[in-house]
């Protein structure tokens, strides 16, 4: 199972998730979400496979999110517009994102990771 882990190394939550993966001996292809953000088509695929509402993919606590005044926009914009916005800047994307190509986890909650890997 090839795993892709989108993360921002300066993010505390991302570091916790990476530490959890390392402690459990789980190899991932780590992708720096700001230097190499997922494309619109990759985000579309992640979104559809996640089963989550698209607004869960936004880093709502980030400065960029607030600067761009996206709080209202995420409730009114079309799916297409929101995916364009997300693809425009990796800092807008909630992280980390972990995927095995079929399942997708957004953010880090130890219980979700344990369930994902049956640990």
> Which CATH number does the domain housing residue 109 bear?
3.40.30.10
* Average pLDDT of the segment spanning 9-38: 97
Q: What are the pLDDT digits (tens) for 54-68?
A: 999 999 999 999 999
Number of domains in the chain: 1
* Average pLDDT of the segment spanning 1-27: 95
Residues spanned by the domain of 22: 4-117
Q: Which pTM was predicted?
A: 0.94
Cβ-count burial 47-86 (b if 16+ within 10 Å, e if not): beebebebeebbbeebeebeeeebeeebeebeeeebbebb
């Amino acid at each position: 199972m090839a795993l892709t882990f989108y993360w921002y190394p300066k993010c505390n939550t991302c570091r916790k998730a990476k530490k959890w993966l390392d402690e459990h001996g789980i190899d991932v292809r780590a992708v720096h979400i700001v230097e190499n953000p997922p494309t619109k088509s990759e985000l579309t695929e992640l979104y559809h496979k996640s089963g989550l509402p698209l607004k869960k993919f936004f880093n709502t606590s980030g400065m960029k999110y607030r600067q761009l005044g996206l709080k209202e926009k995420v409730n009114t914009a079309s799916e297409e517009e929101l995916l364009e916005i997300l693809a425009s800047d990796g800092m807008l994307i909630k992280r980390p994102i972990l995927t095995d190509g079929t399942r997708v986890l957004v953010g880090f909650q130890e219980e979700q990771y344990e369930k994902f890997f049956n640990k």
